[in-house]
């Protein structure tokens, strides 16, 4: 494969693992080992489609967690407002301590929600970036592959070895 054709695939990998050690090199024909890689273009495109589906599923799960964290944040903020509004008496019958405990509990919950958002938001962005890059792979490979990939993405199956794509008989 021409390394330029795998630009988006490499970018998808970097989106999921942005560390400095993440890279991709298609290598040369001399680098390839027998029995490694995909047997056909169709098999490769099916794998890309599968990866796209997996990333889409993970993104949906992260978005659901984000929604739950946002709801928990709203509840914690409401609890903090209610705690601040708690009346206290003088002389105190334990009301000051109860109010302070309610405030601290709400602040702790808010802190947990902020920590969750600090993890979930960048993760969602990385998954969105990876998904966009994976969706770009067929275009990187050329117009012929775009139509085949759309067919696969919609659940279509290619013939064995997809010889009609590769030009063989």
Residue spans per domain, the chain:
3-24+36-166
Which tens digits make up the pLDDT trace of 90-138?
A: 898 999 999 999 999 999 999 999 999 999 999 999 999 999 999 888 7
Close Cβ partners of 59 (under 8 Å, ≥ 6 residues apart): 124, 127, 128, 131
pLDDT value for 113: 97
Quickly count: other Cβ atoms within 10 Å of residue 141's Cβ. Answer: 22
The model's confidence at residue 161, banded by pLDDT at 50, 70 and 90, is low
| Strand, helix or coil for residue 33 | coil
pLDDT value for 57: 96
**What average pLDDT is seen over the chain?**
82
| Cis amide leading into 91 (omega within 30) | yes
| Cis amide leading into 119 (omega within 30) | no
**Within 13 Å of residue 117, how many CA atoms lie on the same side as its CB?**
14
The separation between CA 39 and the C-alpha centre of its own chain, rounded to angstroms, equals: 28
Close Cβ partners of 16 (under 8 Å, ≥ 6 residues apart): 55, 126, 127, 130
């Amino acid at each position: 494969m021409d390394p330029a054709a795998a630009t988006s695939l490499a970018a998808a990998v970097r989106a999921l693992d942005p560390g400095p050690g993440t890279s991709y090199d298609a290598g040369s024909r001399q680098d390839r080992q027998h029995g490694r890689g995909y047997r056909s273009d169709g098999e490769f495109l099916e794998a890309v489609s599968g990866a796209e589906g997996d990333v889409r599923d993970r993104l949906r799960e992260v978005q659901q967690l984000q929604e739950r964290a946002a709801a928990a944040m709203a509840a914690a903020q409401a609890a903090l407002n209610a705690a601040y509004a708690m009346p206290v008496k003088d002389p105190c019958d334990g009301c000051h301590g109860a109010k302070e405990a309610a405030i601290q509990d709400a602040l702790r919950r808010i802190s947990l929600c902020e920590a969750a958002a600090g993890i979930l938001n960048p993760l969602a962005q990385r998954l969105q970036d990876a998904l966009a890059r994976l969706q770009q792979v067929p275009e990187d490979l050329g117009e012929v592959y775009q139509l085949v990939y759309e067919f696969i993405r919609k659940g279509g199956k290619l013939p064995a070895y997809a010889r009609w794509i590769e030009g063989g008989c």
